[in-house]
Amino acid sequence: MSWLKSFRRRLGILLRHEEVERAMDAEMCHHLECEIAERVARGVAPKEARRTALRDFGGVERFKEEGRDARGVRALEDVILDVRQGLRSLRRAPALTVATVLTLALGVAASTAIFGMAYGVLFRTLPYRDPDRLVVLWEHNLTRGRDRNVVAVANFEAWRDRSRAFRGMAALVPASVTIVEGREPERVAGAEVSPGYFGLLGVAPALGRDLTADADEVVLSDGFWKRHFGGDPAAVGKAISMRGGSFTVVGVMPQGFDPPRFGWLGEQALWLPFRATEENRAWGRFLLVVARLESGASLEDARSRMARLGRELARESPSNEGWSVSVVGLAEQITADARDSLLVLLGAVGLLLVMAATNAALLTLASLQRSTGDRALRLALGATRRRIVQQVLTQSALLGLLGAVVGMAAAVWGVGLLVPLLPSDVPRAASIRVDGPVLLFGTCAAAAAMLIAGAVAALGSLKATPFTVLREGAAGRVARGPGGGLIVAAEVGLAVVLTVLAGLTLRSYAALRAVDLGFGTEGVVAARLSLSPDYGTPERERAFFGAVLERLAGTVGVRSVGLVSTRPFGGLDTATGVSNPDRNEAKASDRVVADVRFADAGFFRTLRIPVVAGEPFADPEPTSGRPRVLINETMAALLWPGESPLGRPVRINLFDGTLAEVRGVVRDVRLLDARTPPRSTAYLALSRFPTSSLDVVVGGDASPAAIVGSLRAAVATLDPALPLYRVAALRGLVEESLARDRFTTLLLSTFSVVALLLACVGIAGVFLADVARRRREIGIRRALGARTSAIVLLVLRRALVLAGVGVVAGLVVAVLVSRLLGSILFGVEPADPVSFLGVTAILLGVSAAAALIPGLTASRVSPLVALRGE
Amino acid sequence: MTEPRAELLQGTLDILVLKTLASGPLHGWGISKRIQQVSRELLTVNQGSLYPALYRLEDRGFVAGEEGHSDEGRRIKLYRLTPGGRRELAREIESWERFATGMRYVLGTG
């Protein structure tokens, strides 16, 4: 029972804290008074009695602390005391408090938001059953060292039937279909998947069932089902006409089902059955393959087994000569492209967090400097150093707490702001959200920032000695640099690293923008048309496209029109081996691989791709005789080095080997994106090789919207059931392809600007405090005739020395760090001298500008200060 | 202040305070003076240890603080021995006696 009583009393002491403290004070006062009275009674002079009594009594503060100790509530009481005192001193300097909290909040918000993104994209588990067991299989082209090549149908079948490393395996290929439900025909993107695909992922349809092997069936995404059937469960069993036939809806996938996207898989709104046929077995390599590891089998097991099987297959078929198999974890495959840039962003934001923390430390130090006298007095009165440090830490913990709360609130908002900015090709954007793990990270980030700030501030506070007050009051200090000088240098260093990263990505982005794509994008619009199987013959298809072009060519504002199998920046298309039949090929695998595009004469005119040698396509190309081909400069140089290719035959490994005659050489064009250098390209005439799916390209002075309008009208009159899709201005396509670089560059530049601002605040803050402390010294200089400029220079010089130290250290770190950017940069070396020199100049300039504020403050110090005492 | 004074042994302050309070409530300064007088100036109590000792004893419930008035009529804190404190005093005296006897045997002065 006694512990309960004493607990209650302790609680009482805590609750009645002020009262108890007052009582303690009163008691000590009374004691002193009695002591003095007694000494006076003994005949000591009152003044002397008071002095000796005080001396004999000793340090009041320490007795009070020991008194608190004796009550057994010391630790808790101290915390409460410190929190109260901390809050009081934070309230006393609201500007400083707000600045510190905002600085911390900025760091916490930025790092939490970026972590939230990176976590969602890279680290969150995939929404499938046992996603760690899912892998992607690729063919590995050993001669070219390309380990992620799409897969031939026959090889998929051999892997599925002969490998025992996998519990299941499925093939899929992107597919889009035209759906004519209602008035507007629509082109819908989806995928053909082999039977058992959804079972392999471990996601069952929410409604209905999975696809079966041999029926015209379709499974819909939740979004498509809601859009087209209004979420009616009776949709299952209904028929949708597409591909010239009728497909029965057998299932609807659950809401939020996020199908794996890798390779050339885009968004998917429906899934159709993929069937291997004699026809598609002859198509070459085009499949994507997903598999689930057999229980107990590791990724390494699967790799070695597949390597063995790959060797067997290479022996069995000449088309597999020089090919093996690679096995990649699904998660790694999906996030592969985004990983590098997200990790760089994560690292950069980490640096920003450290900067924010050190800045908070500087600001805390500044606020502590104001109360140096107060602390020195407390030390003189017998308070222990531990107590002082504890109090400083409490104050920075309070600031950290405030910063964390504000920062995390801002992070939630920031993630909402960033996600729409994300390039559309970033995988798994749907899984970006702020939840437990992300908030935990934010908390840890805030705690780490707080610890740094607290530790630095606490170390600084230890400098106070009981004599500090006396000394400063008496003579003023002359020697010793400003407090926090090293921190300022460190901050400048961090800012250098961040600015170098930003500078490199900016230069890389500029280089990407400046790349000569080889074609003109101005005023060019592209749209895709896929004719239904109803057209039947190539002649009817050709006639239709001819009629569309004719109608468009007559439109006001349209300069030229053309057709191509796939527009530049429109994704991958056919690529195959090409060779010079006049030369003996050493090995099949040595053949040059060329992109093949089917185009008409109008395509080159519209995209302003010049013919550098020979003739352009005739309009129209003859439909008989040996087919003629236009090749690009790269292919001409590879197949006919030092010779003219004009009039020469070239073998193209297409349609069982096509022998074509080189009619002309056109300029190199970047077909895929701005980064990928042009590779060999062969353009075959559309009139010889008709296709039912084509991109129409239209160039003109009319606005893109007007051009698209005329195109729609032309198509609608000729075939009302034909949808126009992938409608885009070429300019926009190019912009979109740069979206990821732009995103990274934008974020890194923002970080760098923030870092520069933080460094400015740090420098200005530290030197303002320094000037305030050295007012007397400056006053004396002024009194001795120093000019204003000399005083400003005095401060500037000190600031620049510190900044210089920081810049040098930062550059060294930046050289090491910038190598990590290697895979992101384009056209810029990681050790780019322009970036490094530029950043050095920027940092020194910014530091000087920041030091100008304290410099000017110093120059306004009156010489009278020297004459007046304190 | 030239006459020799005995250093207080560790842990003896509590028993001195309790014994002093056994004859009636006193305030802090009064306690230190009474100890000084009764010990014929041989023992002095350092204020720095007196108050922590008082708070400690209060915390354990051996003494209780109550409101009182000084000679000038000011409100001051008086310390009073509680029944538990009286028992504690008895225990402490007994153990002190044993300790002192032991010391005398060892030093050969008994």
Q: What is the DSSP string of A356-403?
A: HHHHHHHHHHHHHHHTHHHHHHHHHTT--HHHHHHHHHHHHHHHHHHH
pLDDT at A603: 94
Task: Kindly indicate the confidence band of residue A135, based on its pLDDT and cuts at 50, 70 and 90.
Answer: very high
Q: In this structure, which amino acid lies at residue B46?
A: N
pLDDT at A7: 64
Dihedral of the alpha carbons of A261, A265, A271, A273, in degrees to the nearest 10: -120
Q: By the 8 A CB rule, do A108 and A411 touch?
A: yes
Strands A658-666 and A649-652: antiparallel
B-chain residue closest to A65, CA distance: B52
> Min CA distance, B29 vs chain A (Å)?
5
- Show which of residues 11-30 on chain A sit within 8 Å of chain B, judged by CB atoms: 23-24, 26-28, 30
Kindly report the average pLDDT of chain A as a whole number.
Answer: 83
Q: By the 8 A CB rule, do A467 and A734 touch?
A: no
Mutate to test the interface with A, among B46, B49, B55 (most CBs of A within 10 A): B55
CB atoms within 10 A of CB A140: 20
**CATH number for B59:** 1.10.10.10
pLDDT at A660: 87
Mutate to test the interface with A, among B47, B57, B69 (most CBs of A within 10 A): B47
Q: CA A388 to CA A677: how far, in whole Å? A: 64
For A696-705, the pLDDT digits (tens) are: 999 988 888 8
Task: Provide the number of CB pairs (under 8 Å) joining chain A to chain B.
Answer: 63
For A769-787, the pLDDT digits (tens) are: 778 777 778 888 888 888 8
Task: Kindly indicate the confidence band of residue B2, based on its pLDDT and cuts at 50, 70 and 90.
Answer: very low
Task: Kindly indicate the confidence band of residue A382, based on its pLDDT and cuts at 50, 70 and 90.
Answer: low
* Range A400-419 average pLDDT: 85
What are the chain A neighbours of B33 within 8 Å (beta carbons)? 34, 38
For A654-702, the pLDDT digits (tens) are: 877 788 889 999 999 998 888 888 989 999 988 888 888 899 999 988 8
A62:B28 CB<8 A: no
DSSP per-residue codes, B16-45: HHHHHHHTS-B-HHHHHHHHHHHTTTSB--
What are the chain B neighbours of A42 within 8 Å (beta carbons)? none
Q: Is the dihedral of CA A682, A683, A686, A692 positive or negative?
A: positive
C-alpha count within 13 angstroms, C-beta hemisphere, residue A230? 2
Whether residue B8 lies inside any domain: the answer is no
Whether residue B6 lies inside any domain: the answer is no
Tokens (6 digits) for A558: 């349209």
pLDDT at A83: 82
B59:A71 CB<8 A: yes
Whether residue B56 lies inside any domain: the answer is yes
* Range A636-657 average pLDDT: 85
Whether residue B38 lies inside any domain: the answer is yes
What are the chain B neighbours of A14 within 8 Å (beta carbons)? none
Helix (H, G, I), strand (E, B) or coil at A118: helix
Q: Between B83-107 and B13-22, two packed helices, what is the crossing angle to 10 degrees?
A: 130
Stated pTM of the model: 0.72
Least confident span in A4-8, A174-178, A410-414, B16-20: A4-8
Least confident span in A198-212, A412-426, A729-743, A818-832: A412-426
What are the chain B neighbours of A23 within 8 Å (beta carbons)? 77
Task: Kindly indicate the confidence band of residue A808, based on its pLDDT and cuts at 50, 70 and 90.
Answer: very high
pLDDT at A574: 81
Q: CA A855 to CA A713: how far, in whole Å? A: 70
How much of chain A exceeds pLDDT 90, in percent?
17
What is the span of the domain harbouring residue B28?
13-107
Whether residue B67 lies inside any domain: the answer is yes
For B6-49, the pLDDT digits (tens) are: 566 666 888 888 988 988 888 888 888 888 888 888 887 877 77
What is chain B's Cα-based Rg?
15
> Min CA distance, B70 vs chain A (Å)?
9
Whether residue B87 lies inside any domain: the answer is yes
Whether residue B7 lies inside any domain: the answer is no
* A481 has pLDDT over 50: no
pLDDT at A484: 67
- Show which of residues 34-73 on chain A sit within 8 Å of chain B, judged by CB atoms: 34-35, 38, 56-59, 62-63, 66-72
ipTM: 0.80
Q: Does B69 touch chain A (CB under 8 A)?
A: no
Number of domains in chain B: 1
For A247-267, the pLDDT digits (tens) are: 889 999 998 888 888 877 888
A30:B33 CB<8 A: no
Q: By the 8 A CB rule, do A782 and A862 touch?
A: yes
